[in-house]
Amino acid sequence: MIEKEVAPNALRGSSVLVTGGTGSFGRCFIDFVLNHTEASRIVVFSRDELKQSQMQERYGDNPRLRFFLGNVREKDRLLRAFDGVDIVVHAAALKQVPAAEYNPFEFVKTNILGAQNVIDAAIDCKVKKVVALSTDKASSPINLYGATKLVSDRLFVAGNVYSGQKPTRFSVVRYGNVVGSRGSIVWRLRQMPPGATFKLTDARMTRFWITLDQAVRFVMACLDEMRGGEIFIPKLPSMRITDLIAAVAPNAEVRTTGIRPGEKLHEEMISANESRRAVDRGDHYAILPDIAWQNQERLEGAALAEGFRYTSDSNEAWLDPEMLREQSDG
């Protein structure tokens, strides 16, 4: 399990902006930055005025916090928001797999065109570092959501070439399912009324799991470690979905409904093709860019075995049901 310590002077004097700042990750990240770093300004960029209003009420009149309504689909708004910003964490995305299959171009507009807008605005505003959040579904994608995130990942890696002589550098963080985030299986199990039946698509499924706090700390560590063009992957435990249900809702009645469009039995975070340019860096992996640009720096690490794949069913680390129960209660 990843556990990252953050330097007390992290982000000292920096202006930080989070796209999708009112989402599950965004709120946790902003909490962490406010409480554990010396960032001078934190900007919440999102399109949801209600959630922004609720966050404002929660934090009160915090002089370090700013709220900016906008959509990543609109480059002009991003250009205005990024003015004077040093670091961008790009967490805005459309994420629901079934919704993507029925509304594909909406996902393209947010996850792909929005990603390119973030890249262009960051370069034009001379942002120093951009970390974009990805998903295990971007590795060997079989659904529309995963395909859009794969394209997004490639755009952010290539953004380092577009940057040229400007200081902006881009990297990607790819991780698995977040325990307890809105819409997740843990969240849905906890919302179930007594006696309700939980619909499980396939009892053989396994998934990678990470907590919000671990995700935030990993992103913070990657902001410090990145040189540009890396896709960072934490080493995470796997869990069988049936064990997860037994841990979180042991009395739930389960009905198997069949796999949904675009759904995988097991998730993958590094494919065999990607592993040829990936390195092991202890508690995480880094997929290094296969394109070059001027003044490029490369991270070091141990090479992976030929044909290596990082998948949830062949993982060496498995999450104990009691550990999952503790995490889901956190």
What secondary structure, in 3-state letters, does the chain show? Answer: CCCCCCCCCCCCCCEEEEECCCCHHHHHHHHHHHHHCCCCEEEEEECCHHHHHHHHHHHCCCCCEEEEECCCCCHHHHHHHCCCCCEEEECCCCCCHHHHHHCHHHHHHHHHHHHHHHHHHHHHCCCCEEEEECCHHHCCCCCHHHHHHHHHHHHHHHHHHHHCCCCCEEEEECCCEECCCCCCHHHHHHHCCCCCEEEECCCCCEEEEECHHHHHHHHHHHHHHCCCCCEEEECCCEEEHHHHHHHHCCCCEEEECCCCCCCCCECEEECHHHHCCEEECCCEEEECCCCCCCCCCCCCCEECCCCCCEECCCCCCECCHHHHHHHHHC
| Mean pLDDT along residues 175-195 | 78
Report the percent of the chain where pLDDT is more than 70: 94
**For residue 8, what pLDDT is reported?**
55
Provide the phi-psi class of 64: left if phi over 0, else alpha when psi is between -120 and 50, else beta: alpha
pLDDT digits (tens, 9 = 90+) for 10-42: 799 999 999 999 999 999 999 999 999 999 999
With respect to residue 157, please indicate whether it lies within any of the assigned structural domains.
yes
- The answer to whether residue 161 is domain-embedded is yes
Instruction: Name the active-site residue from 75, 95, 126, 137.
Output: 137
- Judged against a pLDDT cut of 90, whether residue 53 lies above it is answered with yes
Give the pLDDT band of residue 252 (cuts 50, 70, 90).
confident
pLDDT grade for 327, boundaries at 50, 70 and 90: low
Determine, yes or no, domain membership for 294: yes
The reported pLDDT for the residue numbered 319 is 84
Model pTM score: 0.93
Q: For 123-174, write each residue's pLDDT tens digit.
A: 999 999 999 999 999 999 999 999 999 999 999 999 999 998 899 999 999 9
pLDDT exceeds 80 at position 9: no
Residue percentage of the chain with pLDDT more than 90: 74
Domain that holds residue 148: 15-175+210-236+269-308
Statement: residue 317 has pLDDT above 70:
yes
CA gap 199, 13 in Å, rounded: 48
Residue 187 pLDDT > 90: no
Name which of 98, 311, 284 is nearest 206 in CA terms.
311
Q: What is the pLDDT of residue 1?
A: 47
CA distances from 75 to 70, 107, 109, 111, 171 (A): 10, 17, 12, 13, 20
pLDDT band at 55 (very low <50, low <70, confident <90, very high): very high
273 lies in some domain: yes
181, part of any domain: no
- Residue 8 included in any domain: no
111 found inside a domain: yes
Residue 289 belongs to a domain:
yes
Q: How many domains does the chain have?
A: 1
Q: What is d(CA 290, CA 108) in angstroms, rounded to the nearest whole number?
A: 24
Q: Angle, to 10 degrees, between the axis of helix 49-59 and the axis of helix 24-36?
A: 30
Tokens describing residue 68: 């900016």
pLDDT tens-digit map of 71-114: 999 999 999 999 999 999 999 999 988 899 999 999 999 999 99
Residue 137 annotated as catalytic: yes
Q: What is the CATH number of the domain that holds 26?
A: 3.40.50.720
The answer to whether the beta carbons of residues 87 and 17 sit under 8 Å apart is: yes
